[in-house]
Amino acid sequence: MIRTRPEKDGNVRVTFAVEDPRPVSLVCDANGWDPFATPLKRRTNGTRSAALVVAPGTAIRFRYLAEDGDFYDDPAADLEPNGIGGTHSLVVA
C-alpha cells in the first residue's frame, strides 16, 4: 500500500506499508538502494510502514527487502523492468 500526502512546504510525503510479519526495509533509488537506510516500523495494526518526503513529481523506484533476503514488489504499485531480468515497483509523488 502506498499513500501520498502534500506537506506544507510543497514537498510530498510518500508512505509505504506492507503486511509482513518479518522485519522489512524499503530499498529504493531515493535511498541509494541501501537496505539499512529505511526500515519499515511495525505498527499496532500489524502492518509495517516508512515514509519518505520528496519533491512533487519525483519517481521512486523501489522494492521491499525482508530480513530473510526475500525481495518483493508492492502489489499496489506500477511495475517496470529493472534492467536485470526482473521488475521493481514505481510510484510518482
User: Cell triple for residue 52?
Assistant: 519518505
For residues 35 and 70, the answer to whether their CB atoms sit within 8 Å is: no
Q: Give the type of residue at 53.
A: V
Q: Assign residue 31 the CATH number of its domain.
A: 2.60.40.10
* C-alpha grid cell, residue 17: 506499508
Tens-place pLDDT, residues 44-89: 998 999 999 999 999 999 999 999 999 999 988 999 998 998 899 9
Range of the domain at 33: 2-92
Three-class DSSP category at 51:
strand
Provide the whole-model pTM. Answer: 0.90
Return the number of other C-beta atoms located less than 10 Å from residue 46's C-beta.
9
Domain count, the chain: 1
